Structure 1
């Protein structure tokens, strides 16, 4: 009896893991195609160096802005890609543009705008030191920042005062400060992207009409059928026919074909087949695409499936790493530890 519940737990965890991986994969694909990480970074840097435009900063304030403003906003804060090395004397008109001049060497795009999505704190600190050289030293750059009304003036002024005119201490201070800013940016990014993850999880749950409660029942049914087949196998075809006649009306006179049909369509295959479009692979011939729009819509509007949909939706919000850890605990899978000896 315990093995039945273990099979049920493992089956549910594997389903949640696979669907969570699908959600993560789609999200990562959208992020790469739309260059969201790069846009997010440079919008943040633009506000930090040049100041926010208008009353509101670039940071989305509502769920609607998360989906509409970030990937498809009218203004793209990313600088245009430039393969040339940084000039000796800056020609940029903004501080974010001057920063990009010092970061071109880590940009590997070939057209359009920059693809830089992460700036190492050490590289940022070196870039700031290069900018101070073009501005005539740290005091001169600080004065220019103050005149331009840059939000960067306050933090750099405090770091320079603490460094007591020591350029190396100033560089280390800038590096430590920027590392903290990147941590803050990561928290903001995850805060807004989780709404995208939630939307993708909801869409996939409804598209596959993944009723977790129904799926759990199907797993138990599979186990019951297997146990029934094993218990009656010694009785021959007649015993199987009496036990399984109602389960496979397509094969009334061939119990072995019935058993094959049942065991070849496990619970997960059945639950995935509830999507609007499914594929059936016959014994012979080409795969057949089936339209299940009517049955799919009936499942969505049926209140009996809503609790299962909610369970699936909230399960996907835990993410693939969570379900992978649960699966490892249930199955005893151990990760290979690196050999400490060279």
Structure 2
């Protein structure tokens, strides 16, 4: 029975989970902006990729990470750099920019003048080897490996530098894949913690909400109408979640909005969080502890903790998940009942054949 009350209650509850997930996403974005997780994770991943470990530091190996950050191509990506303020580490580096900056450092003559050494394989190999003291053993050996690959690749004969740049980009993307995984795990952990906080603070009890939906047809109709409008969108009504994987070919942490400084990004995340909480309050569902004060009854507490846990676990799954579920359940409801077969019991048997 596709148009049953039970299905309407399910759609309303799923829509509440979606709204709660959006608030959690906004809270996660606010924390990421306040603590600069993207920039810190990117710097750590870059240092792991091209920097030096403890053994190399003791051996006097250089740290190319600082040199890369000061390169003109990457310097412009730093926040506040364009406005003349104190430049902060970028939260995103395009793979192409990284490859161009690293090759510019490695293939430019030591005096910093002249064109890049990219005439033939022997000259490129000699130039990179001459920069070992500046690049360090790890980066030098990696670039020499790429040069060897270009040498044996017949397709690279036309443009050796472009082929070398593609290899460096692929190397950077592979390294940044580990950064994204670390960022995802932290974001998922904080999403779970924020879900517990939001659900407990707003008293978003799944059991209590279900009872309200079952007893209030007006509330059900209101949530169904809002859910119907939401599923008309092709994408979830949400920002990209921090836990979501980056697009193909872009393995670095998710960037902050372009052109925004750290304070404005933080303020934007705070405004979005306030908007999402206000949306939850305007859904009409029972929210808050005023009309549902704690009771000394043990069973009341068991029921309350179970309802809060259900909402918290559901909301921590993320807005994209609940948006997909909402679309599927809404399409099931929109299908309606199958029309009954035509009634032929009263058809006259002596009626002439139309043929």
2:163 equivalent in structure 1: 169
Number of the residue aligned with 1:182: 176
- Aligned mates of 1:53, 1:23 — CA distance in 2: 38
Matches within 5 A, 1:48-63: 48-53=49-54
- Counterparts of 1:16-95 in structure 2, within 5 Å, are 16-53=17-54, 94-95=63-64
Q: Is the 8 Å Cα contact of residues 35 and 115 (structure 1) preserved in structure 2? A: no
Match of 1:205 in 2: 199
SS of the residue corresponding to residue 152 of structure 1 reads: helix
TM-score (norm 1): 0.61
Supply the RMSD in Å over aligned alpha carbons.
3.6
Alpha carbons of structure 1 residues 126 and 302: separation in structure 2 relative to 1, 3 Å: same
Q: Which runs of 5+ in 2 are unaligned?
A: 57-61, 111-116, 118-123, 153-159, 222-280, 333-355
Q: Secondary structure at the match of 2:39?
A: helix
Report the secondary structure of 1:327's partner residue: helix
Residue 289 of structure 1: aligned partner: none
The one-character-per-residue Cα deviations of 1:51-92 (angstroms, maximum 9, x if unpaired) are 24589xxxxxxxxxxxxxxxxxxxxxxxxxxxxxxxxxxxxx
Deviation digits for residues 81-137 of structure 1, max 9, x if unmatched?
A: xxxxxxxxxxxx731121112211333414334242111111111111211134545
Give the structure 2 partner of residue 315 of structure 1: 314
Tell me the secondary structure at the aligned position of residue 295 of structure 1.
coil
Whole-angstrom distance in 1 between the partners of 2:9 and 2:42: 43
What TM-score does the superposition give when structure 2 sets the normalisation length? Answer: 0.58
- Tell me the distance in 1 between the aligned counterparts of 2:182 and 2:220: 50
Give the direction of change, closer, same or farther, for the CA distance of 1:329–1:31 in structure 2 (3 Å limit): same
Secondary structure in 1 matching 2:286:
helix
Residue 104 of structure 1 corresponds to 75
Count of aligned positions: 241
In the alignment, the residues of structure 2 paired with residue 226 and residue 193 of structure 1 have an alpha-carbon distance, to the nearest angstrom, of: 33
User: Counterparts of 1:100 and 1:30 in 2: how far apart (Å)?
Assistant: 25
Tell me the distance in 2 between the aligned counterparts of 1:140 and 1:293.
75
Matches within 5 A, 1:221-236: 221-223=215-217
Q: 1:230-286: per-residue Cα shift (whole Å, max 9, x none)?
A: xxxxxxxxxxxxxxxxxxxxxxxxxxxxxxxxxxxx995352123xxxxxxxxxxxx
Give 3-state SS (helix, strand or coil) of 1:106's partner. coil
Q: Write the distance in 2 (CA, Å) between the matches of 1:294 and 1:8.
A: 21
- Report the Cα distance in structure 2 between the residues aligned to 1:22 and 1:35, rounded to whole angstroms: 20
SS in structure 2 at match of 1:114: coil
Structure 1 residues 213 and 267 mapped into 2: Cα distance closer, same or farther (>3 Å)? farther
Kept in 2, the 8 Å contact 1:11–1:219? The answer is yes
